[in-house]
Structures are given as structure tokens and as C-alpha cells.
């Protein structure tokens, strides 16, 4: 999962993000999930707080941030719904 903060004037575009990631990253390095945060928390030593993000996971019922998943069939990042989350957990949605 990648956690990003967008510039104030930018909107997330799942199609162009997919093209960029697909062009510039090998398959094993492509983030399967993208989480959009309004602010990225830092530690006292200016490192990103990752432990909390890992503990929260990617359940859309728990997380209030926008979450997207890589959909290779559609060739874009789609927003995660509860149905998609359940499909991932049941191993029906191929990552």
C-alpha cells in the first residue's frame, strides 16, 4: 500500500495513476492499494508513522480516508467498496 497526500489543487485520477505506475514500476513494486490522506503524520524525528497505517489495514468500514485498489482488468485504480473488500478477503479478487 502507498499512502499519499495530494496537493490542494489536485484530484486523484485512477486511470492516469495506473498508467504512470505501470510505465515506471516493475510489477512487484506497484502498489496494490493507495490511501489518500489529508495530512501525513510524522514522528518526532520526521519519519512517517507507518505502524498505525499497517494496523488499520484497508477495510473501508474502518478507514475514513479514500482507498483505491489496483484493478489490472480495468487498467485503473478503483475506489474500494465493501464488496471489493469482501472479495479481496475471500480471495476472489486477484491482487
pLDDT band at 92 (very low <50, low <70, confident <90, very high): confident
Instruction: Determine the structural domain holding residue 52 and report its residue range.
Output: 2-90
| Confidence band of 82 (pLDDT split at 50, 70, 90) | very high
**Phi, psi (degrees; rounded to nearest 5) at 68:** -130, 150
- Pairwise CA distance, residues 14 & 78, whole Å: 6
Most confident of 18-22, 43-47, 55-59: 18-22
Q: Is 60 inside a domain boundary?
A: yes
Mean pLDDT is highest, among 1-10, 11-20, 43-52, for 11-20
Alpha-carbon distance 87 to 77, whole Å?
16
Q: Which of 68, 11, 74 is nearest to 85 (CA)?
A: 68
| Within a domain: 95 | no
pLDDT-derived band at 44, boundaries 50, 70, 90: confident
Does 10 reside within a domain? yes
Q: Does residue 59 form part of some domain? A: yes
Give me 41's grid cell: 503524520
Structurally, the chain folds into a number of domains equal to 1
Nearest-angstrom CA–CA distance, 77 and 14: 4
What does pTM read for this prediction? 0.82
Q: H-helix or E-strand containing 94?
A: none
Amino acid at each position: 500500500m502507498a499512502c499519499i497526500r495530494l496537493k490542494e489543487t489536485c484530484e486523484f485520477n485512477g486511470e492516469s495513476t495506473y498508467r504512470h505506475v505501470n510505465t515506471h514500476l516493475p510489477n512487484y513494486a506497484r502498489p496494490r492499494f493507495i490511501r489518500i490522506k489529508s495530512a501525513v503524520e510524522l514522528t518526532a524525528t520526521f519519519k512517517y508513522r507507518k505502524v498505525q497505517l499497517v494496523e488499520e489495514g484497508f477495510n473501508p468500514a474502518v478507514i475514513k480516508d479514500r482507498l483505491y485498489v489496483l484493478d489490472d482488468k480495468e487498467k485503473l485504480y478503483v475506489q474500494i467498496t465493501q464488496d471489493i473488500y469482501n472479495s479481496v478477503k475471500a480471495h476472489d479478487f486477484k491482487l
